[in-house]
Structure formats: C-alpha cells, structure tokens
C-alpha cells in the first residue's frame, strides 16, 4: 500500500497566491500526496490582490505534523510579527522532511529561527531584509540548505517545487510533473530580475512596492 505524503500549504492574509498555487500544482502530483491548506483559522483567506480568496480547510491548531511544508511570501512582515504563527512553524518544522519557502516566505522562516546563516533566496526587493537575519541573499532562483529550499520571487516557486519533487521521488517523477504543466518558460522579455531589467524598470518597480507597503 502506497504511503501518504502530507503537504501543508500555509495561507495567510495578504499572501501572494502563485507562491502557494505554483508549488501546489507540482506537489499534488507526488505519489500519495495529501494536500492541506492551513491558516490561523478555517475559512477563506484574502490574498494580496484582494480580488481572490483561497480556502483554508484546517486551522493551525489542527495541524501538528507535515512531510512537506510550503510557506508563501506576500505580506510577510505581519507574519514575522505574529508570535502564534512563528510558534506554530517552530513546532511543525521538526516533523517535516522538506520545508519550502517562496519569495518573502524565507523572511518568515528566518523570523521563526528556522532559517539561519548561510545563503537563501527571496524576492529581490527583500534581499537586504534577509541580510539583517545574518543570511546571505542569493541571486539563484532556488537555494537548498539541508531540508530547506528557498525560492526567489513568485514564479521561482515552481522551480523549487520541481527541485523538491526530484529530491523526494526522483528526477523522472519531477520531469513528469514538469511535462504535465508544460513548464517550458520562454519569457517575452528579459526583465525578470533587477540585474537584467534595467534601471528605469527597477526604479518604477521599487516605487510601486513602496506605495504598496505604505500603511
């Protein structure tokens, strides 16, 4: 009989939807996968756009273990200041085989004391914040440190999930998942990183992020 793999995806207000759904589309296809969408309370969770809601079927109090934990980015500062969230992550992490953060989710892991030292990936706009935790921000899309995988911004969560799928079930399974979702990116522009976007685009993006973060 095939053993199950419990995959816990943490949802919180202001999170970025693709940070969770991108990895979900890969990890749900792993043999024996059981996906649990979990939030502080059961019910709909409004993402950062405010147009979309994702459904949490379980509360954090109901979930005490996970084989794979996914922590998305988005409104990370609020989660970094939430003692209940940080305590739950600290309790859950030792039960996991793999923990995956996407975008600024790595900041939440750092605030919880799960991610310490070394290198890690995060959204390009949060690299200096990550450095404040004594972690060296990497320009790589995916960084593995032991059983923790950190991904850069949003779309890199798919790369990280494929990497995790290969580690957990072998490269052939990961390639099968990649084929299922026809993941063969050919972006029309080269503006995907601040290193390639050009100073004008970066300045506009930074201004937008500052405005978005303003109270």
Instruction: Give the pLDDT confidence of 67-91 residue by residue, as tens digits.
Output: 999 999 999 999 999 999 999 999 9
Contact 66, 7 (CB under 8 A): yes
209: pLDDT confidence band, cut at 50, 70 and 90? confident
- pLDDT of 208 reads 86
- Is residue 1 predicted with pLDDT exceeding 60? no
pLDDT tens, residue by residue, 7-43: 999 999 999 999 999 999 999 999 999 999 999 999 9
Six token digits for residue 170 = 């072998």
- Is residue 215 predicted with pLDDT exceeding 80? no
pLDDT tens, residue by residue, 34-43: 999 999 999 9
- Is residue 6 predicted with pLDDT exceeding 70? yes
Residue 56 φ then ψ, to 5°: -95, 120
- pLDDT of 30 reads 96
Within this chain, do residues 92 and 65 fall inside the same structural domain, yes or no? yes
- pLDDT of 214 reads 58
How many domains would you assign to the chain?
2
Up-side HSE of residue 186: CA atoms within 13 Å toward CB? Answer: 2
DSSP reduced 3-state for 175: helix
Within this chain, do residues 103 and 33 fall inside the same structural domain, yes or no? yes
Within this chain, do residues 92 and 163 fall inside the same structural domain, yes or no? yes
C-alpha span between 68 and 97 (Å, rounded): 6
C-alpha span between 38 and 28 (Å, rounded): 15
- Is residue 213 predicted with pLDDT exceeding 80? no
Question: Distances from the Cα of 183 to the Cαs of 73, 126, 215, in angstroms?
Answer: 21, 26, 37
Within this chain, do residues 199 and 112 fall inside the same structural domain, yes or no? no
Give the catalytic positions in this structure: 103
Please give the model's pTM, rounded to 2 decimal places: 0.95
Q: Shortest CA distance to 152 belongs to which of 62, 18, 59?
A: 18
Within this chain, do residues 149 and 196 fall inside the same structural domain, yes or no? no
Within this chain, do residues 113 and 205 fall inside the same structural domain, yes or no? no
pLDDT tens, residue by residue, 95-104: 999 999 999 9
Within this chain, do residues 93 and 115 fall inside the same structural domain, yes or no? yes
Within this chain, do residues 173 and 190 fall inside the same structural domain, yes or no? no
Within this chain, do residues 137 and 207 fall inside the same structural domain, yes or no? no
Q: Are strands 5-10 and 68-71 parallel, antiparallel or unpaired?
A: parallel
- Is residue 180 predicted with pLDDT exceeding 70? yes
Contact 108, 101 (CB under 8 A): yes
C-alpha span between 123 and 103 (Å, rounded): 5
Within this chain, do residues 153 and 200 fall inside the same structural domain, yes or no? no
Cross-strand partners of 36:
8
Instruction: Output the domain CATH number for residue 177.
Output: 3.40.50.880
Residue 61 φ then ψ, to 5°: -65, -20
- Is residue 2 predicted with pLDDT exceeding 90? no
- pLDDT of 158 reads 98
DSSP reduced 3-state for 76: helix
Within this chain, do residues 147 and 207 fall inside the same structural domain, yes or no? no
Within this chain, do residues 143 and 205 fall inside the same structural domain, yes or no? no
Cross-strand partners of 2:
none
- Mean residue pLDDT of the chain comes to 95
* Domain, as residue range, for 197: 186-214
């Amino acid at each position: 009989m095939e053993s199950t793999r419990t995959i816990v995806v943490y949802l919180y207000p202001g999170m970025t939807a693709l940070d969770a759904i991108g990895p979900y589309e890969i990890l749900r296809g792993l043999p024996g996968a059981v996906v649990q969408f979990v939030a502080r309370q059961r019910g709909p969770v409004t993402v950062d756009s405010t147009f979309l809601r994702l459904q949490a079927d379980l509360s954090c109090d109901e979930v005490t273990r996970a084989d794979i934990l996914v922590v998305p980015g988005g409104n990370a500062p609020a989660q970094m200041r939430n003692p209940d969230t940080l305590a739950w992550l600290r309790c859950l992490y030792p039960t996991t085989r793999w923990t995956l953060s996407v975008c600024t989710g790595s900041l939440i892991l750092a605030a919880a004391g799960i991610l310490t030292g070394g290198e890690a990936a995060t959204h390009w706009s949060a690299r200096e914040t990550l450095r404040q935790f004594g972690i060296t921000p990497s320009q790589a899309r995916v960084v593995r440190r032991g059983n923790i995988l950190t991904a850069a911004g949003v779309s890199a969560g798919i790369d990280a999930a494929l990497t995790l799928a290969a580690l957990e079930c072998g490269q052939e399974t990961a390639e099968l998942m990649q084929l299922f979702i026809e993941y063969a990116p050919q972006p029309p522009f080269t503006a995907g990183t601040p290193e390639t976007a050009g100073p004008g685009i970066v300045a506009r993006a930074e201004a937008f992020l500052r405005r978005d973060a303003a109270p």
